Amino acid sequence: MLTKTRSAKSDAERIQEQDIQKASSLNAISEPLINHIYTADPSAHVFDNKIYIYPSHDIESDEPINDNGDQYAMRDYHVLSLSQIGGEVTDHGCVLDVDDVPWAEKQMWAPDAAEKNGKYYLYFPARDYEGIFRLGVAIADKPEGPFKAEPKPIENSFSIDPAIFQNDDDQYYAYFGGIWGGQLQRWASGEYIAEDVYPADAEPALLPKVARLSEDMLAFSEPVQDIQILDEHGELIKAGDNDRRFFEGPWLHKYQGKYYFSYSTGDTHKIVYATGDSPYGPFTYQGVILEPVLGWTTHHSIAEYQGKWYLFYHDCSLSGGQTHLRSVKMAELTYDKHGAINTIKPYK
């Protein structure tokens, strides 16, 4: 294990300088779904024959740009919906604010949502008043909210980026985790330590987490488990394999009987995927879904709508390369005859 040190100028600062210079020259394959506010980290689901998107809400911030993500100072959530691809997108306004979450102090990062028995559940990360990321849940009677938060975070939850998967047997699973600013590295021992300690490059990478949800959707019904991501030889991906190792943004979907676990590689700025035969994994690495976008972060979801599959993602083209001011986009996602996902290039 080693303690991570970084240079005086962060990766995020360097990326922003580069992206501001090239923002006007890129020819994107898709436009932002909305342009009156900045949105990121889209989690998409089909409810009531509409696509509902649960993004984070980027705002201007005086916080420093650094690799811990302090510049991502988001404080509330909006819900977007559309009933026709390429059609009008509705912003349903603020559906949950950090001031309405008793345990949360700041940084309402990437959320997700689920439906069960006519109720809708919004899952979200935030820092508590000790600076530790926890996962919370809020409930609504409609997919567009508004949502009312539970008074406490989910017991035994930690880190960021919850993603909820409903399996064919109507069991629900919560996937989560993110390194660097997402604090996953601080839980390697099972208890929180206020120090960033990482595996050496030749050691297995830190792993994302999963737990089945309780019947009431408000708790984990089992101990949190590791999600193993394997290489082509059946070995755990190594920490130094930055093009393939897990960084943040887990997502699970199912296609033709296979489970597809996808995620961001973080500092190599790719969305990649691995496949397996169980929602618990293990998952074997397969390839790249989305090449790097404009901006430091990349974060996604995948959903099927009216017989086609779509990738939901973000970049910072609308803000002219400001890495903390991002915009949600979508593009069709396709598979080859063997079930491999065809890599998407976000710019022509």
Q: Check: CB of residue 312 under 8 Å from CB of residue 89.
A: no
Residue 41 annotated as catalytic:
yes
The distance in angstroms from the start CA to the end CA of the chain is 41
Between CA 156 and CA 305 the distance in angstroms is 34
61: left (phi over 0), alpha (psi -120 to 50) or beta: beta
Q: How many CB atoms lie within 10 A of CB 144?
A: 21
Encoded tokens for 322: 């400001």
My answer on whether omega of the bond before 151 falls inside 30° of 0, hence cis, is: no
Nearest in space to 174 (alpha carbons), one of 270, 66, 251, 82: 251
Q: Which residue in the list 58, 115, 248, 315 is annotated as catalytic? A: 248
Which one of 41, 58, 144, 315 is the catalytic residue? 41
Residue (of 27, 109, 35, 42) closest to 72 by Cα position: 109
Backbone conformation region of residue 86, classed left if phi is above 0, alpha if psi is from -120 to 50, else beta: left
Residues present in the chain in total: 348
Cα 241 from Cα 237, distance rounded (Å): 7
Tell me how far apart the alpha carbons of residues 92 and 111 are, in angstroms, rounded to a whole number.
Answer: 16
Give how far the C-alpha of residue 65 lies from the chain's centroid of Cα atoms, to the nearest Å: 20
For 337, residues 6+ apart whose C-beta sits below 8 A from its C-beta are none
CB 36 within 8 A of CB 56: no
Residues carrying an active site annotation: 41, 248
